[in-house]
Structure 1
Amino acid sequence: MYADYHVHCEFSDDSDYPMLDVCRDAVGLGLDELCFTDHVDYGVKPDVDEYERDHSLARVEMDQPVLNVDYPRYFAAIDEAREQFAGKLAIKAGLELGVQGHTIRRNQALVDTWGERMDFVICSIHEVGDKEFWTGEFQEGRTQAEYNQAYYEEMLAVVEGFRGYSVLGHLDLIKRYDPVGILSFEASRDVIAAILEQVIVDGKGIELNTSSFRYGLPDLQPCCEILRLYRDLGGRVLTIGSDSHEPAHLAAHIGECRARLRALGYERFCTFEHFEPVWHEL
């Protein structure tokens, strides 16, 4: 099974890669299956219907409002893609939810509303207190130890209060946007262990996100220490995704990452069908 389980298209605010082009390219790359996981970030982006009622709710970038997924159009487009690529590519429906402690209820309501149309949900921490990492706003005024601890504490609060997800996305994402460098694993080990223990108890999983290569990180994402700890704690639910936003990203480094996982002692990875893991040999 050759699958990419973190794929964005034109329904994400940060991608203009047409869904049907993604599917054609996936077939050309020999993928058996992919899952679309377009962005929802309550707290910093409104839904389409909210924006239609009040345009002031959305910031504007490059003359376009920054919005969450247009859910009816998105799921209808996935259905159409499935019909067009039947027998050539298995296409799964997912979302990547940027969850914060104060948005848990909204995210759970979203999954409750659209869950029958979905296979898979990535839970990511993209913001804390509605402050984003990529802009540096979240890190401003904090030491490296403080913003790393605040990031993981928010993740712990989310996994303790939210059950509507399949895997945690790019668990140590803060490393991408750390202006100082990369804080040692040991500095955050205890809170990371608490996160992983909760994930395992709840029957959820984590993803290996192959975008670490294009971001120039010195290790996998999450790092090998986290992957070993998850394995040692009994974690087994694991997906692999490229975090693709454009053609050059799709399926990138998945083969290499599968080999790295085998070297770390993993034997299987997962795809998903209606929120249930389907196991495959690495």
Structure 2
Amino acid sequence: MLADFHVHSEFSDDSTYPVIDVCRDAIKRNLEEICFTDHVDYGVKPDSDHPELAHLIDGIPSINVDYDRYFPTVEAMRERFADDLTVRCGLELGVQTHTIDRYERLLDRWGNHLDFAILSIHQVGDKEFWDGSFQEGRTQDEYNEAYYQELLAVVERFHGYSILGHLDLIKRYDPAGIYPFEKTRDITAAILERIIADGKGIEVNTSSFRYGLPDLQPCTEILELYRDLGGTIVTIGSDSHEPDHLGSYIAYVQRRLSALGFKAFCTFEGKAPHFHEL
């Protein structure tokens, strides 16, 4: 079974990929199941009803998902393509410790529409990784330590998610190169122990290939640690924002997970994991 559980569309501020085209392309690529996971990043982006508060990126307001349009659109795709493709509805939540209460209100309002939610740390203190503002003025030790400390603090306080996305995301945007796993092993173990205890999982994000990383994301050492700690809930997602990304390396990652000793990968329906043999 091929399933892509990290898919972005026109409802994410960093994508223009029409939802209907995502579904058509998924069928073309022999995917059996996809989950839309468009972006919500409180702290750095307003909701769609306040575009005047948004930062402009290339002249386009950077805003969160338009919930009133998003959920009915995904539901319509679920019905339209039901014979050929299973369509799930999710969100990617870019949580920070100071925005947790906003995500809790979001889930109170819209949570019944969700099959799945990715917890991602995209910013710390409202400073982005992708543009280097978070790393600026810090040593490699300092910004890596701050990233993992924030991640641990969030998973200790926030529970409204299904899996932890691209756990070592900071590697994508590290100007000093790959930070040694040994330096973050202990805090990574604490993060993994917490999510396992809470019944949550992790994601293997196949965008590592297009970002030119030398390993999977999270890296092999993290996956082995998760396995050794008893973790079993693993999803696979392309983090696609355009057609060339969709479904990429899904089958390859399934083989890698099997070689690492994992027995299954997961999809989600109604926030419950479903295990599929590797």
TM-score, normalised via structure 2 length: 0.99
- For residues 198 and 114 of structure 2, the distance between their equivalents in structure 1, rounded to whole angstroms, comes to 19
- For residues 267 and 111 of structure 1, the distance between their equivalents in structure 2, rounded to whole angstroms, comes to 31
1:202-241 map, 5 Å: 202-241=198-237
Q: Report the alpha carbon displacement of residue 93 of structure 1 after superposing the two structures with TM.
A: 0.3
- For residues 24 and 196 of structure 1, the distance between their equivalents in structure 2, rounded to whole angstroms, comes to 36
- For residues 108 and 206 of structure 1, the distance between their equivalents in structure 2, rounded to whole angstroms, comes to 20
- For residues 82 and 193 of structure 2, the distance between their equivalents in structure 1, rounded to whole angstroms, comes to 39
Instruction: Tell me the residue number matched to 1:104.
Output: 100
Alignment deviations for residues 185-242 of structure 1 (CA, whole Å, 9 cap, x no partner): 0000111000000000000000000010000000000000000000000011110000
Alignment deviations for residues 93-131 of structure 1 (CA, whole Å, 9 cap, x no partner): 000010000011111111121111110000000000000
Letter in 1 for 2:239: D
Q: Report the alpha carbon displacement of residue 62 of structure 1 after superposing the two structures with TM.
A: 2.6
1:111-122 map, 5 Å: 111-122=107-118
Instruction: Tell me the residue number matched to 2:16.
Output: 16
- For residues 65 and 86 of structure 2, the distance between their equivalents in structure 1, rounded to whole angstroms, comes to 21
1:221 partner SS: coil
- For residues 132 and 60 of structure 2, the distance between their equivalents in structure 1, rounded to whole angstroms, comes to 22
Instruction: Tell me the residue number matched to 2:42.
Output: 42
Instruction: Tell me the residue number matched to 2:258.
Output: 262
Letter in 2 for 1:246: E
Instruction: Tell me the residue number matched to 2:152.
Output: 156
Letter in 2 for 1:113: R
- For residues 228 and 105 of structure 2, the distance between their equivalents in structure 1, rounded to whole angstroms, comes to 33
- For residues 187 and 132 of structure 1, the distance between their equivalents in structure 2, rounded to whole angstroms, comes to 22
1:122 partner SS: strand
Aligned residues: 278
Q: Does 1:93 align with 2:89?
A: yes
CA RMSD, 1 decimal: 0.7
Alignment deviations for residues 135-189 of structure 1 (CA, whole Å, 9 cap, x no partner): 1110111110110000000000000000000000000000000000011100001
Instruction: Tell me the residue number matched to 1:29.
Output: 29
Instruction: Tell me the residue number matched to 2:136.
Output: 140
Q: Does 1:69 align with 2:65?
A: yes
Letter in 1 for 2:173: Y
- For residues 113 and 85 of structure 2, the distance between their equivalents in structure 1, rounded to whole angstroms, comes to 18
1:49 partner SS: coil
Unaligned ranges ≥5, structure 1: none
